[in-house]
Structures are given as C-alpha cells and as structure tokens.
Amino acid sequence: MYDVYIVTPVRNCTQYIDDAIWSIVSQSGDISVRYHIQDGNSTDGTQQKIAAWEEKLLKFSAILPAKIHFSWESSADSGMYDGICKGFKHMDIPPNAFMTWLNADDMLFQGVLDAIARLGRTLPYVRWITGYHMYLMPHGATTAGKDQLFPREVIAAGLAEGAHWRFIQQEGTFWRKNLWDKVGGLNTSFRLAGDWDLWRRFAQQVPLVYTPRQFGAFRKRPGQQTVVLSAYYDEMEKKLSWRQRNLRCRGILQNTKNFEILVAQQTVHSGEWELFALCLDPAETSITLKEDDRWRHTVKHTPDSKKQAPLFISDLTFDEFTYARESHMHMLNGSYIMGKFGQPLDIHFCDLKAYQDGLCNAFIDQMLSTQSKILEIGGGESRVLPLYGNVHECWNLDKFEGVGNGPRTVPIADYRTVFDYIGAFNRDLPDNYFDFVFSISALEHVEEDIDNFRNIVEDINRILKPGGHSLHLFDIISRHGGTLWQNGLVDYMFSNLPTLNKYCDPAQFHASGDIYYMKQQAYDVVWKNTTKTDYEKFGKPGNITVFWKKV
C-alpha cells in the first residue's frame, strides 16, 4: 500500500510536463507514492520525455527523497477524464488511501504529499480536503488567489462554479478511494467540467475539509480564460442550467441559517493534524444571486455551431448584415455567444458587443479555412482571437492607449500584437498577407479626416492578400427625430470600396421590425456611466457593418 496515488493525464504537453513530474517525484518525507502518467497518444515528443523520466527514476530511485513507484502508458482516449480513469485502473488502490490527479501543466508544492500521508493516519474520518487557490503565471511566478471556505450545501448544489461561489481548485484537492467509489468516479462524458460534477457528487456524501495552506498550483496560459471557461460553462449548462443554479442559490439563502465549515490545520511542532468547525452566516459570505450579470456575455463555438446558426453558409445575402438584426441575434445566441456563466443570453439585456462578437465569430468559423491569417484592428483584450489560436494565425493591432474607453494594459496572449494604429502603414504588418482583417467597435473612434480615412482604407488593402475579406462593425446611434450618428469613415468606405453589402437607410430595416438596438436597461448598466447621458437623450446604440473583398 502506498500513501498517495496520483495520475497525470497528458496529450502533447512537452513545454510543461517536466515541471509537473518533478513537482511529484521531488516530494520529501517518509512517504511512498504510486504515480502513473496516462498519455493520450502524444505526437510532439511528450512520450519521449516520459520515457526519459522513467529511465532516470529507475536509475536514481535510491537517492530520491521519497519512495516513488512510477509507470506510464500511451493509448487513445475519449478525453482527459477518460484518460484519468484509465490511469487509476492501473493501480490497486485501497479503500482508505488518498488519491488525486495532476494535469501535465500544473504542479504540487513541496511537502504536500507528506502532509496528506499524515492526514490519512491522523484523521481517518476526513474523506476529502483542499487547500487555497494558487496560480502559476506564464512567467513562472506563483501567486495566491483569494482565500475562501467551501460550504457543503454550496458545493452539493453545483454552485462552486465561479459565479455564485469560487471554483474548487482541482490541483491540490485529495480524496479517499472509498469516496470515489461511492459516487462512481468521474463522468467521462464531460470534456472540461468533470471536476465540478465530481465535487458536487462528493459533497452530497460528505463535507469538504479546507486547510489554509498551499497544496497545488493551476497554470494560467494565454487565451485560457476565454476558450476554456466558455466551453466549461457550456457543459455545465447542459447538466445543471443557470436557472436551476440560481433557484438553488435562492433556496440556500432563504433556508440556511448557518454554514458549518470543517477546517484542518497541522500543528507547528509535530506536523500532526487537528480538525475544527467554523460557523458562517450565509448573508455574510460571498454567495449571491447573479441576476445583475445578465448583460455580460462570452464567445463560444462548437462543432455544432455552424448547423445551429448557418449565417454565412446559407442563402442570405451580405446585404442582410448591413445593420444588426434581431433575428440574427437569436441565431447567434447559444451558438456563438452565451451568458458569461453559460446561461442563455438575454438579448434584451446585453451589451451591443455581444452581437458584434458573435457575428465575427460566426464568420471566422464558417468562412475561413484552417490556418488562415487573421488580424483584429483595435482588438485590445480580444474576446474573439483566443478562440482560434490553435486553428489560425492570429494578430492584434492596438496601441493600448485607452482610445474609445479601450484598455491600457497589454494582455498575455497567444497571438502576435503590433503596437500601432491602422493607417500608420506599420511595416510589421506584411503586404498582401492576411486572409481576414476585422474590427469590433473600434473604427468609430478614429479622427474624422478625409486623409485619415484614405490612409486607413489603403493600409487595410495593403495588408489584405488578394481574395482576402475585411469586416468592420461600427457603433452607430439612432437619435430621436430619425437622425443617425455614425463616424464619417462609414460613408467613406461605402462610397470608395466595392463593398459586398450595400448601404441603405435604416428606415428600411425599421419597417421590417427586425433591426437590433441595445435596449435601455442594458444601456443604463453598461454605457450610462461613461456617456453621463440618459438613454432618451443619447439615442439607441446600434451596429452598421462594412464588408468587402480585395480583388
């Protein structure tokens, strides 16, 4: 019998797997560890690295600070959670032993396995335990997240999902085999949210014990927040909807007098564990209904998105997209955009950028072939590009000077950033290079000068390759009395370019009843603090699109 059993699932992770392995095999203490790596047929050299580690561990086992029994296998799997389950099947794990998995880009802190081994001996009735959140940043430094306790009621209701309550960090969460068996282990139909599902089933059996110390660190990588979270929440929504979670939160707030939290600490001198309970008033914690976040959105796409919202692969003409349409918004909702936490987006209570992000997302997904070269103008902390870093070559052009209420902080990203404005003819943007150049709510902020307009258009056409497309979504304001504000660049583009969509008076769209404007309730939450003007006086924010193909 070993003290701790660990599986690392991996596929194509040569950049980080050495760190993950070392964080386990370098653990010190009078402990024995059963460690298995389950590879999913990696093709990037990961298998060769694992084999090299196997050789080193056999050669130097006598001088390692702990007893490590190492094995590995490479075989096809249906996803990470299937790989984890396959890995655990390689081990004969006793019912009371602690187990966990560690992803190939994450790490454990020194001393954690000795602490878990001592816990197993000292507190046999503790069935699962976690430490506080730690993050491993892209530059290598670790940083602590906000310390937070985890009430059993909250976890069991599926509310430890980053919205109503903080996530439970999987890296550094340990549980006994008998609890794993009691709930049936991981649901391998999940691809991302399997840990959330496992935690809620654990909590339906026993409370989570918290310890105020660092156990493991989750590695933050460029684009991860947008790509992973949107898909994570999408899976969660299918299992337990946002509406259901909000109802459960309401029930907890109404019916729970106190949360009882179990906290474990090691004594300073002996290192043995002690357990005590804390009582918290739910009203004094961070649990909250998330109705005020209805206007927030995130972008998404799945293999089914094209079938659900075939905007660009149907018989629609590009003239259909000159102004934002409510019918298009309904098609985009759930396929290319969704609420921030996975819920269906309330299109009558959301930012205008939800439509703009969704339309660009749909165009990229439906119209571009793999490994296209894409440039976003004024992308700032782009919401769209992170979705496509592994599919296309992505660039962002932004000077990060805060123009148009834009960002001043440069994000860590897995796409290339050029620090300039369009129209400056920056030579870092190659001639005849890009398949697709687009902008979202950016070019309406440019100086209204005919020479500036000419430079912008000429610069875009310079960097577009022949046959490349350019799609630009401008904010417009429909004012009372039928007047329309839009940047003069819109008129210049329609007048001087062979656009694929025609300019027309918005009254034609109004007559159809299908034009989409940002509603007052969303404006009051999202825009009014910036404009300092009431909706009735400011006007209705809408969108106009300019689209052309370089010949």
pLDDT at 302: 80
- Assign residue 387 a region: left if phi > 0, alpha if psi is -120 to 50, beta otherwise? alpha
Q: Which of 269, 284, 299 is the last residue of a domain?
A: 284
Q: Which of 284, 304, 336 is the last residue of a domain?
A: 284
Which among 19, 2, 196, 16 has a CA at the least distance from the CA of 109? 19
Query: Alpha helix locations (H) across 141-193?
Result: 152-156, 177-183
252 and 372 share a domain? no
pLDDT at 411: 77
Model confidence over 165-178: pLDDT tens digits? 989 999 999 999 99
279 and 299 share a domain? no
- In angstroms, the CA 334 to CA 361 distance is 12
pLDDT at 511: 65
Say if residues 107 and 13 touch (Cβ distance below 8 Å): no
pLDDT at 222: 64
Dihedral angle at the C-alpha atoms of 408, 411, 414, 419, nearest 10 degrees?
Answer: 20
Model confidence over 305-317: pLDDT tens digits? 888 888 887 777 8
Any idea what the CATH number is for the domain that residue 40 is in?
A: 3.90.550.10
Sign of CA dihedral 348, 299, 139, 399: negative
428 and 326 share a domain? yes
- Which parts of the chain register pLDDT below 70? 138-142, 145-147, 222-227, 289-293, 404, 507, 509-512
169 and 301 share a domain? no
pLDDT at 292: 59
277 and 303 share a domain? no
Domain limits for position 473: 291-549
261 and 352 share a domain? no
54 and 107 share a domain? yes
Any idea what the CATH number is for the domain that residue 297 is in?
A: 3.40.50.150
Task: Work out the end-to-end distance of the chain between its first and last CA atoms, rounded to an integer number of angstroms.
Answer: 70
pLDDT at 291: 62
Q: Which of 284, 305, 338 is the last residue of a domain?
A: 284
208 and 228 share a domain? yes
Total number of domains constituting the chain: 2
383 and 433 share a domain? yes
pLDDT at 158: 96
Residues in the chain: 551
- In angstroms, the CA 13 to CA 265 distance is 35
Sign of CA dihedral 156, 235, 414, 355: negative
Say if residues 174 and 127 touch (Cβ distance below 8 Å): no
Q: What is the model's pTM?
A: 0.83
Tokens standing for residue 334: 């759930």
- In angstroms, the CA 505 to CA 158 distance is 49
The H-or-E segment that residue 489 falls in is helix 488-496
CB atoms within 10 A of CB 204: 13
Which among 3, 12, 341 has a CA at the least distance from the CA of 196? 341
DSSP string, 421-485: -TTS--TTS-TT-EEEEEEES-GGGS---HHHHHHHHHHHHHHEEEEEEEEEEEEEEE-TTS-EE
Which among 363, 539, 367, 378 has a CA at the least distance from the CA of 460? 378
522 and 381 share a domain? yes
341 and 468 share a domain? yes
299 and 347 share a domain? yes
